[in-house]
Amino acid sequence: MLFSLLASVVMGTLPIAALSVTKHLIDTVTDLVLKRSEQFSMALWLLLAQFLIVLLSSTVQKAQEYFNRKMEFRLDHVLQQQIMQKTSSVPYSYFDLPEFQDHLDRVNGGMGGRFLQPLKNVLEIGKSALVLLSFLGFLFTVHWSLVVISTVASIPIFFIQSGFGKRSFQLSVAQTKTTREAHYFSHLLKSRPAAGEVRLFRLAPHLMRRWSQKFLKNAAEQLSLQKKQQTAYVGLDGITALFYTLAAGVMVWLMRTSTVTVGDFVAIGQAVQGTQGSINSISQQMARLYESGLFIRDYFSLLHYEVPGVRQMKGTEPFPALVQGISVENVSYRYLQGRRDVLQNVSFTIRPGEKLALVGENGSGKTTLVKCLMGLYPVTDGQICFDGVNLDGIEEGALRKEINVIFQDFIRYQLSVRENIACSEIERYGDDERLAEAAEKSGAAQFVGRMAQGYDTYLGRMYRDGEDLSGGQWQKIALARAVFADAQVVILDEPTAALDPQAEREVFAQFERLTAGKTAIFISHRMAAARLADRIVVLKDGRVAEQGTHAELIALGGEYRRMYEMQAEWYGVETGGAV
């Protein structure tokens, strides 16, 4: 920064030095040409001075660019880290808020550069101010009217430049939404997951048309602004030329009363143009300063982003040994900005080591309940207790360690098999024995064994030698995660949805082994699988409709029996009320 500051001072004083050398050089050479003097060596010295000024200016400028880049990298590193720390620690529910996503979108990308911008702008303004003052000082020594002419000419330049700078920034903010939409359409046309359907449904022309509309809308708005800008700039050039002519006129007029050399004439012309150039630069930099100021404000407001009323996890107690079990007491949950409670007065208990199945129609609230159970969503009403200890009081790290969840839409990390399995307890990443056991129990060992690099094979298409897995194979990897983690509670959301009948059967046959010694909750739409559970909780419209064992619920003849019979009918199995 210090170097940049010094460099700006040097760069700010060089133009007047160059101007003075040019003036003297022209005067000396004119004298030589007109044979009024014989100062050849002086002309050579001045040429050398001109050469050195050019060299110094270039060196300082390039060195400043290098140091600025270095600062940019350092800043970028720190700032991105801070953003990532923030996004990985904010309450999970913030991701449900479009404003939070918008905020993130605005702040992401090229941060160091943008953060350094105000500093660069201020230095540039300082440098231009130095140039301006020195040129005005020079003009004043010639005649005060030249200062007035230069200053008056600068006023429209200043206002028009800053006005357009601001409007262009406001336009880019206003276009963020359309830009994002255009990006989404082009992403669909370029991304691998969508490539299949885009071909199947012959969607390309439609998507391209949608992309084109958004793209062209933005382009038209930008062009319209640019048209106005260019017209205004022609006017500005006219003003500059006019005032330059005026200044030259003053010079001609001055020749009547005092001696003006050719050098003076050229130097004054350059000084008038230089003054306007620096005003131009100051106004441009001020517009950019305004823009980067807004960006920095966005950045800090993201770092301090907080939604009133959303509880942060601040518990300090350890996770209990689960001797009594888990109790869900009158739990209600409403999504941020949601209009209704998607969970209403949900109550049930899970005994230690028990296997509980959560069933219910789509949208009945199963996944939401699971996210409440693991503390991702703080309940709106009621409480969840582990051995009588309220979830809110438990230290977040301990909770995450003891409750392991495999989500329905688990992440397929484009990393090694080892990382994909051990991610549920990444500290034990090197534990080969545990890895093999988890893969064995989940059924993943079978296909991992066939891979050339074994557990170190990279999965996915991001790498040239990466292996892509089928949906069911990925699900087995996800199941292995659940086994690998040393958690007391394991929650599986639709653990077998992508498995073939044989694999599904095997998973459920091994369910006891997969969850041995753990309290397990699983969500399933397969009623036959729910039979394996010790107890079943049926959710309907966010409420517990009924709960009990399979036999009890069949005997009850309610929601569960209806769902069970519907599936049984589909398979052509006569239940006849039998269990």
Ligand X SMILES: Nc1ncnc2c1ncn2[C@@H]1O[C@H](COP(=O)(O)OP(=O)(O)OP(=O)(O)O)[C@@H](O)[C@H]1O
| Chain residues that interact with ligand X, rule: CB under 6 A | 96, 335, 338, 342, 360, 362-368
SS3 content of the chain, % helix, strand, coil (to 5): 65, 10, 25
What gap in Å lies between CA 175 and CA 218, rounded to an integer? Answer: 7
Nearer to ligand X, 325 or 365 (CB): 365
Task: Pick the closer one to ligand X by CB: 281 or 344.
Answer: 344
Instruction: Please identify, using beta-carbon distances, which residue of 367 and 416 lies nearer to ligand X.
Output: 367
Q: Report angle CA 343, 348, 350 to the nearest 5 degrees.
A: 125
For residue 338, the minimal CB distance to ligand X (Å) is 5
Nearer to ligand X, 351 or 525 (CB): 525
Work out how close the CB of 363 gets to ligand X at its nearest, in angstroms, rounded to a whole number. 4
Query: Smallest distance, Å, CB 552 to ligand X?
Result: 22
CA distance 81 to 87: 10
Query: In a 3-state reduction of DSSP, which class is residue 404?
Result: strand
DSSP helix/strand/coil, 294: helix
Residue closer to ligand X by CB (options 96, 396) is: 96
Distance CA 232, CA 81 (A): 43
Are 417 and 454 spatial neighbours (Cβ–Cβ below 8 Å)? yes
Per the structure block, which two tokens stand in for 410?
Answer: 């688990």
- What is the Cβ-side half-sphere exposure of residue 483, based on CA atoms within 13 angstroms? 28
| Closest by CA position to 121, among listed 80, 155, 165 | 165
Is the CB of 120 or the CB of 366 nearer to ligand X? Answer: 366
Interaxial angle between packed helices 144-174 and 111-142, expressed in degrees from 0 to 180 and rounded to the nearest 10: 160
381-386 and 489-493 beta bridge pairing: unpaired
Rg of the chain, C-alpha, whole Å: 36
Question: C-beta of 337: minimal distance to ligand X in Å?
Answer: 8
By beta-carbon proximity to ligand X, the closer residue of 259 and 362 is 362
Smallest distance, Å, CB 494 to ligand X? 7
Smallest distance from the beta carbon of 335 to ligand X, in angstroms?
4
Q: What is the DSSP letter of 91?
A: -
Query: Taking the complex as a whole, how short is the minimal distance between the CB of residue 364 and ligand X, in angstroms?
Result: 4
Max intra-chain CA distance, the chain: 125
